[in-house]
Amino acid sequence: MEYILENVWTTDRNPKQKHVYVKDNVVRYVSERPLRMKCFTVSSAGFDVIPGYVFRDFSLNGMDDVSLKDHCGQLVMMGCTSVVTSLSLTYPKEFEQRISETRTKLNALPFDYAIGVQLPMNRISPALIRTCQKAKIPFINAMVEQEEDLDTVIWEWVRNVNFPYTVPIIADWSQIPLHEKRLMQLKEKWVRICKDKSIVTIDDFPNQDQQRLNKHQLQCLGLYPKKGSWVTGCDVDYLVYERNVSVDGEERVEYDKGKNPVIVVQNGNIIKVKDDIRLKQGNGKEMRIIRPGIFRVMSNDLL
């Protein structure tokens, strides 16, 4: 099937309208000018159409099948079309078993997903980095449990092996009970370590579940432009919001104000219409990352 989506919006700081040509559930062409092709045209009059959201949710792996299905429905209600999750490790040697179990578990998800690794920061080692590179793991969520954890890792060794598939190491501060001022000092120390030792991280990565990722975060993980964009070759994931019309007749873009979308489309399939959820278990696939951060330096004007 082929069709044109007219006047869709980007999600930049300064949103722009685009015209998108879709064929076989893949975006084939994007233009700022109206497209003239012999195919069906979808007008967005009265609505705002934007790329689908990618959410962080590390809780999926611990749910039973019934809870997982209900939880996925809640995510879709909020506009989720893909999810970034993780598997938890105590020791790196558990990786092979845990990644196999996690992939089997998440194989039933109705939308696409990417899997990272979560473990204590003091367990990070060159061997773990190589393991993550081999399995195409897009990030390590490193839990800081003690103030000394930042100094227990030999970061020079980690840096030397973390190339060319550079796995971002994200500091997770949720496990360390510190006063806000001391926690801020520790975060500043982490920033200095990353700068001095050339450690790739994501400073603004969400620290709670059910939060959506922005363009910069998607770039760092290697999910952009496949997800969350209107770029030739990206997946056909998008959300349709009712446009807010003010009293004086001025139309305002209000899709980023916490409202739920009217329609959710994932990989070209409609999975939500108002309160009607249409999920098919197993329709999702694991997003294998070519290289994290590959488009991180691209200008936002290219979205």
The H-or-E segment that residue 92 falls in is none
For the chain, how many helices (H) and strands (E)? Answer: 7, 17
What is the Cα–Cα distance from 282 to 190, expressed in whole angstroms? 39
pLDDT in tens, the chain (303 residues): 899 999 999 988 788 999 999 999 999 999 999 999 889 999 988 899 999 999 999 999 889 989 999 999 999 999 999 999 999 999 999 999 999 999 999 998 999 999 999 999 999 999 999 999 999 999 999 999 999 999 999 999 999 999 999 999 999 999 998 899 999 999 999 999 999 999 999 988 998 899 999 999 999 999 999 999 999 999 999 999 998 644 444 444 555 456 899 999 999 999 999 999 999 988 999 998 999 987 765 433 334
What does pTM read for this prediction? 0.90
Strand ordering across the sheet containing 112-120? 169-172, 140-143, 112-120, 80-88, 53-56, 211-212
Closest to 50 in 3D by CA, of 211, 241, 215: 241
Give the burial string for 272-283 (b: 16+ CB within 10 Å, else e).
Answer: beeeebebeeee
Number of residues that make up the chain: 303
Phi/psi for 7 (5° steps) reads 55, 45
What is the Cα–Cα distance from 199 to 140, expressed in whole angstroms? 12
Q: Where are the domains of the chain?
A: 2-51+229-302, 54-220
Query: The tokens of 222 are what?
Result: 């290697």
Number of neighbours of residue 64 by Cβ within 10 angstroms: 8
Cβ 57 vs Cβ 141: under 8 Å = no
CATH code 2.30.40.10 for 2-51+229-302: yes
Cβ 78 vs Cβ 52: under 8 Å = no
